[in-house]
Structure 1
Amino acid sequence: MKRTLETIEYKENTEALAKFAKALAHPTRIAILKHLESQSCCFTGDLVDVFPLAQSTVSQHLKELKNAGLIQGELKSPKIKYCINQENWNIAKSLFQNFFD
């Protein structure tokens, strides 16, 4: 198959969509994103207070969301402040919109 700009873009977009979909495939991660969107930013401990989960479980979900690029963390020693990565969040919304259209 000839690699054109169109096929490269298609591959990159489908891979990005799959990465975002995988990160969103757990109800707790969706809830975390909704919470972060309404709060703009918060610390891991704040999320532990909101969700009936162990701190290690919340941290694992945050790690998955961060690895997918949907959130970003900023070290505020000894805590990490998390917020939505707006650039990637907008890309994800656009990719999902195109997928469902």
Structure 2
Amino acid sequence: MFKNELARNRYKEKLKRSLIYQLEKQNTNIEPFLDNIDRYINLWETAISLENDINMNGVRLENGRKNESVALLVSVNKQMGLMLDKLAITPEIVGEANEPIPEL
């Protein structure tokens, strides 16, 4: 998905800034909401690692067993969606505030 670690880190920071920006637009950029963004980012990193494992090892491992990363990825993605729901970040909200996110 990413060319290198630098590209991944840049995207991660942009994602985090975007989420914080969405909270600012809703005037909810306070604790514990900001803490939930950090937790979301951690889940995002976990999802990337699981995707990398699936890309490297496939859906089935060499021994014929299912790659557990597939089921874990589904669970992580579901949790990420729930977190966005709890933060009231929806496609409609993002679409309304579709302004460029400032670079660092």
Q: In which range does the TM-score fall when normalised by the shorter chain?
A: 0.3 to 0.5
Give the structure with the higher percent strand.
1
TM-score (norm: length of structure 1): 0.35
